[in-house]
Structure 1
Amino acid sequence: MPRFAANLSLLYNEHPFLDRFAAAAADGFQGVEYLFPYAFAAADLAQRLADHGLQQVLFNAPPGDWDAGERGIACLPGREAEFRAGFAQALDYAQALNCPRLHVMAGLAPAGVERTRLQATYEANLAWAAEQAATLGREVLIEPINPRDFPGYFLTHQAEAHRIAQAIGAPNLKVQFDLYHCQIVEGDVAMKIRQYLPTGRVGHFQLAGVPQRHEPDVGELNYPYLFNVIDEVAEACGWQGWIGCEYRPARGAVAGGTRDGLGWLRDTRRA
């Protein structure tokens, strides 16, 4: 059975953020992820992890001005110094939280800037970040994201993400394979798992139901089948990563809203 990590930015949102660690542990999660840690002291987050026996498996490097609509700056020319400062901050948090993976968001492609220039900026920033992360034993992840949720996002397809990772050639630069985004953009999800997981370039999976981004037992993807595919391929190639549960509980931010929707997880554990 895959290992599942609770995404605390979306799950248990009836609780204040620091109380979500306890809620996730109470439901049997052993790993957590979230978008950003920077609003909290690293020591406070590390204490929550230790108190509840949780592993931090992933978070994002600073994305620029998130509240203003920015979704990463790695592909944006002229923002290189800001990118480097933000990634250095992310590495400090990764060290304090013993987190092995950092997701670097590409950003929205600005109008009027040639894609070749954005591509060059993106790849140079990723190569630099991977080198910095390698000195601390951390992985850098890039994620194709669907343009319906993030219109104009620079990186949208699995093949392009894997081409970039392969071209840069850093062993610790990997792809964050979000099954939700892949289904919306490309489909053929099971075959892409079989294609890419054995390459060693998949660092992490995420899931959500399609199209509403609710629990994975609601929507058009057959997740029990996909979990079996991941198990089968992972056993054959030795992959031992996590699947992040990055979905919005259908019941919303109400008491028990996340827990009541975890029937899919209980069924998976019994399988």
Structure 2
Amino acid sequence: MADAYMCLYISVRSFIRHTLSIFLYLLTFAVPQWMLMSIFSSVEHILYTLICFSGAFLLLTLIHFVESVKYDWPWNWLAIGSCYELMTLGVGSFVMNTQLNTVMLAVAVALLIFGLVLVLCFFIISGYDYPNPYKLASLAALGLVLVIVAMLAGTYRDRSWMDVALLLFSLNVLLLMISYVLISFQNLDVLIKPDTLLLGFVLYINYTLVLVASFICIQRCEHSFDVSRVVQKASPYG
């Protein structure tokens, strides 16, 4: 058994290349689905998004805790493939009934942010003195709790708390991504080639969360611009 696992170890460079390749493949297959759902879906429903995301995270938890589902073919491919489609459809249902230009802008912005975070992780790792990634992940998890609190405050108190919730959500998603990359780097000596599938998919999940945050920001900016334009037209001095 030990010899079988030894055959699965690969170099750090190959591991990173395989992981990023899987992420790019997943993203390449996801973008057309989002485009089609944006074009042909006439009704948006946040309930579909919540159901898909909840199912995806439950399945991801199962993958992490069940060794056979995590490593044994074809169960690992079936589990991660199902989880992938749930995440993709969840994002697709979130961008339903939206102009295609807005969706593609959000995809591009999220990809740019994602790339910048990876570059930042590279410099953090190169510094050899980065913070404990597990503490960063715990801090990000606590921040997500604050997001819920801010959303509740925005629902029942002042709507401006929604902007605070969006800012906290964006920052904590980026913090989660950084901590995940650092944790993976710390465990490179025990990771094997089949782990690249799961790690590439988790990177895709991080990207979709960045995409959701970017999409909300773009929509809020467009809404603010439309409101200001209407006010300007209504003004006698406009």
Higher strand share: 1
Q: Using CA pairs below 8 Å that are at least 6 residues apart, which structure has the higher relative contact order? A: 2
Higher helix share: 2
Structure 2-normalised TM-score? 0.26
